[in-house]
Amino acid sequence: MHDTMICMNEDIPLARREAIATRLAQGQPVVATVLATEYDVSEDAIRRDLRALAAQGRCRRVYGGALPIAPGSAPMAARLDEGRAQKAALARAAVRLIEPGELLFLDSGSTNLALVELLPEDRDLTVATNSIDIAAAVLRRSDLQLIVIGGAVDYMVGGCVDASAVQAVAQFDFDRCFLGACALSPKAGVGATSMADAAFKRAVLAASRNSVALATADKFAARAPYRVAPIKAIGHVVVEYEVADAQCANLSRAGTSVVKAERPERE
């Protein structure tokens, strides 16, 4: 009987946590004081729930509560299997911009990860990255040199974007960077959902002679609270085959060169 009671007590916080997660998944922000009253528990208990959910990438902690994860800001790990064919098509178009012997920077992002297996074998390329997944993929290729930009790993970003990472990239002179974009538009430019990530991306741009952004179609509809750079600061924007000519023209007028990918292969 005693063991049964222990199991029931352990299940209560998990059930409460899942109920909170359901609200967040439905797009509802939550407030710790309100939840504490509703569930008749301490605010500390609710804060523990929210910390656990944030660690799982299921919410974004803010003062006093938590916010739902925006569609474009899911953790890197959750985006790896999304739109593989579209990302591969973007990567095939982007690798044509690379020159032999270049020092490349691949920003953390699932679209940039698709670049790794398509990088030409005979170009004597060196890849620097702040991404755990990209670094692991590059390491599996004996023809590529790898430089890892270190620091504290941001779970949502999937890589290092802290002050030490910013200082590290400032020491480089990248031939070409492939910048991750949480949101992209002719008017707002390139945006990021994290202040630290935005600052890191600006440092990468400052350390790069040429810049490229691969943009899946959903990036044009997304909104991000932190601005990285205007479109004219990006040398090339690679877009999906389905992007309308008018959208491409707007990007060109904003000051970038637009590269349209070919129709993606079926997944």
Segments making up each domain of the chain, as ranges:
2-69, 78-260
Dump the DSSP string for the chain. Answer: -HHHHHHHHHHHHHHHHHHHHHHHHTT--EEHHHHHHHHTS-HHHHHHHHHHHHHTTS-EEETTEEEPPPGGG--HHHHTTTTHHHHHHHHHHHGGGPPTT-EEEE-SSHHHHHHHTTS-TTS--EEEESBHHHHHHHHT-TTSEEEE--SPEETTTTEE-SHHHHHHHTT--EEEEEE--SEEETTTEEEESSHHHHHHHHHHHHTEEEEEEEE-THHHH---SEEEE-GGG-SEEEE-TTS-HHHHHHHHHTT-EEEEPPPPPP-
Tell me the pLDDT tens digit for each residue of 195-205: 999 999 999 99
Tell me the CATH architecture of domain 78-260: 3-Layer(aba) Sandwich (3.40)
Using a 10 angstrom Cβ sphere, with 0-12 exposed, 13-18 middle and 19 or more buried, the burial of residue 6 is exposed
- Assess whether the region 2-69 and the region 78-260 belong to the same CATH fold: no
pLDDT of residue 177: 98
pLDDT band at 71 (very low <50, low <70, confident <90, very high): low
pLDDT at 68: 77
Under a CB-based contact definition with an 8 Å cutoff, are residues 51 and 83 in contact? no
Q: Give the range among 80-84, 156-160, 232-236 with minimum mean pLDDT.
A: 80-84
Looking at residue 6, its pLDDT comes to 39
- Residue 7's pLDDT band (cuts 50, 70, 90): very low
Separation of alpha carbons 195 and 205, rounded Å: 16
List the CATH code of the domain at 2-69. 1.10.10.10
The b/e string for 164-187 (b: 16+ C-beta within 10 A; e otherwise) is ebbebbeebebbbbbbbbbbbbbe
Which region among 42-51, 70-79, 186-195, 196-205 has the lowest average model confidence (pLDDT)?
70-79
Could you give the CA distance from residue 56 to residue 225 in angstroms, rounded to a whole number?
Answer: 22
pLDDT class of 90 with cuts at 50, 70, 90 = very high
pLDDT of amino acid 28: 82
Average pLDDT, the chain: 88
Q: How confident is the model at residue 3 (pLDDT cuts 50, 70, 90)?
A: very low
